[in-house]
Amino acid sequence: LQKSLNETFGADKYSEARKEVLTNMFSRPMQMALYFCTGILENETLFRHYALNVPFYTHFTSPIRRYADIIVHRLLSASLGASSPIKMEKEAIQRQADHCNDRKMASKRVQELSADLFFAIFVRVRA
């Protein structure tokens, strides 16, 4: 798919813009990762990362970027014995995870609408 797309993009001044918009549009159907509290879910098979084919998975980036990453860092540090456990009930952690998921989905939707608008303008100008 990537090779086919690269051939389609061309080499004019709009090729990078076409590449970005089309790549974004093709990746939309992929299932979005969700934050969750493992203490809430009883079925451990739900912890599995499908694409990586691993039974347990956690993801985080720099904790200065997102609140969810701060929580993951703190929980991981406590689970490794490097710090004391955080003083949050699992239901409170799940509420925070739900809120982070809601904000992430809203952000993704705005990004998609922006790409749709750009693509519509691009098509209109090129027509």
Give the model confidence (pLDDT) of 6-48 as tens digits: 777 777 887 888 777 777 777 666 667 788 888 888 887 777 7
Please name the residue that has the structure tokens 């599995």: 48
Say what the pTM is.
Answer: 0.63
Are the CB atoms for 50 and 56 separated by under 8 Å? no
* Residues above pLDDT 70, as percent of the chain: 87
- C-alpha count within 13 angstroms, C-beta hemisphere, residue 102: 6
- Cross-strand partners of 49: 54
Answer whether residue 57 shows pLDDT above 70: yes
DSSP 36: -
3-state secondary structure of 124: helix
For the chain, the residue count is 127
